[in-house]
Chain A
Amino acid sequence: MTDPKTVWKTQESEENEMSNIAEVRVRADRLQAGTRTRNIALYAYSAFSIAVSLWLVARGAFPAMRYPMLLMVAAHLLVLWQVNQRITARSLPADMAARPALDFHREQLERQAHGLSRAWLWYMMPFLVPFAWELAIMLHRIQTGEAPPENMRLLLVFVVVGICFWTAVLLAFSRAALKAQLQIERLNAVKAE
């Protein structure tokens, strides 16, 4: 039987197109350009949301919803900024790249677990507050007769869909945070060996 180690070390290699420094620099620049594009896309989306919402507010399209709509715009901006801050960059920071693998892995997981376990605060709450406000305005308008009673059915649909959606989001974040935490604990146990 062939020795697995020998088989391993005698694998065929591949041509390395990154042995040319000029090529490495081109790819490094492309990577940075990709990050810039991602940021531009995020900000373009924010700008579009703001523009549409402000246009609706300025036209007086939904006067009763003016302030919740403005708050929703602020929520979009806050969440986009948070996503931008928290999402792992495609490249590693150079000062972290050469840490012992176990420490590096644990730090990555801790960062992930921290963001996920607080997602209710930085992701859900900014949207939930204006959403609840809008529902409250709808209810008030129905009760005071400013809106037809038939709208109550629509309001209930919004409430049920909202509860289902946000519960699913919360469960997904909690599950991911728990998985990351379990992995951290496993790595801590390995480190303590």
Chain B
Amino acid sequence: MSQDEQYLSAIAEFGPALVRLARTYEPDPDQRRDLLQDVYLALWRSFALYAGQCSLRTWVYRVAHNTAISARLRRRKARLVSLEELADIPAPDDPEGAAGNAHVLARLQTLIRRLAPPDDQVMLLYLEDQDAASIAEITGLSPGAVATRIHRIKQLLSSQFHQGDGA
């Protein structure tokens, strides 16, 4: 497949996930559009070098997350925290608001934005339904470290969204 074909195939399959990633990291619509364009451009350029070194999914997610890392490094914001620290923050007591999907989504995005790398990446990939092995491959963490983080994420989601069994 040519570079263009690989790019088109990748965005057809992972485009919605890339939009979700950009939406999570950049609440501002203009900056989100910039980040998304940066991701797409990095992806297109990267396919000039893609020769099946890893799965297409791993490649796409790595490029997307690395582009987001660069954007975050350029724009220093509030102090980021680890999963353990985030777990100590109590969930808002708002049963009516918590019932709405938009509210759940907004809270998920806020939680991820407050997390320091690589915890934010692990949580985002977990929500994207990636398994522990894939997350380890994308992030460079050991499978054990990913498993620990997924366990904490499930606890966090459970406490923040009052679920019986996490996600």
Contacts and interface: CB of A to CB of B under 8 A. Distances in A.
A19 B11 contact: yes
B141 A24 contact: no
A105 B66 CA distance: 7
A24 B3 CA distance: 12
Contact of B40 (A13, A24, A96, A102): A24
Contacts of A101: 62, 65-66, 69, 117-118, 121, 138-140
Interface in B110-156: 116-118, 121, 127-129, 137-142, 144-145, 148
Interface stretch (A2-10, A56-64, A146-154): A2-10
Given A5-B127, A103-B140, A98 B66 contact: yes
A28 B41 contact: yes
A112 B73 contact: yes
Nearest to B23: A11
Contacts of B69: 101, 104-105, 108
A92 interface: yes
Interface string B83-112: 000000000000000110100110010000
Contact of B73 (A27, A96, A108): A108
A92 B7 contact: no
Nearest to A180: B73
B138 A100 contact: yes
Give the dominant DSSP class at B's interface: helix
A interface SS class: helix
Given A7-B108, A19-B11, A91 B45 contact: yes
Interface of B: 4, 7-8, 11-12, 15-16, 19-20, 23, 36-38, 40-46, 48-50, 53-54, 59, 62-63, 65-67, 69-70, 73-74, 98-99, 101, 104-105, 108, 116-118, 121, 127-129, 137-142, 144-145, 148, 157, 161-163, 167
A98 B40 contact: no
B139 A100 contact: yes
A8 B62 contact: no
A31 interface: yes
Contacts, number: 156
B108 A4 contact: yes
Place the interface of chain A in its size category. 35 or more
A19 B116 CA distance: 31
A15 to B, nearest CB: 10
B49 A95 contact: yes
B121 A91 contact: no
A19 B167 CA distance: 32
A24 B42 CA distance: 10
Given A18-B36, A102-B139, 11 more contacts: A4-B167, A8-B127, A9-B127, A27-B37, A28-B44, A88-B73, A91-B42, A94-B45, A98-B59, A100-B138, A102-B118
A4 B138 contact: no
A24 B41 contact: yes
List 9 tightest A-B contacts by C-beta distance, closest first.
A100-B140, A102-B140, A193-B145, A18-B40, A8-B127, A97-B46, A5-B167, A101-B65, A94-B45
A14 B99 CA distance: 24
B37 A18 contact: yes
B101 A16 contact: no
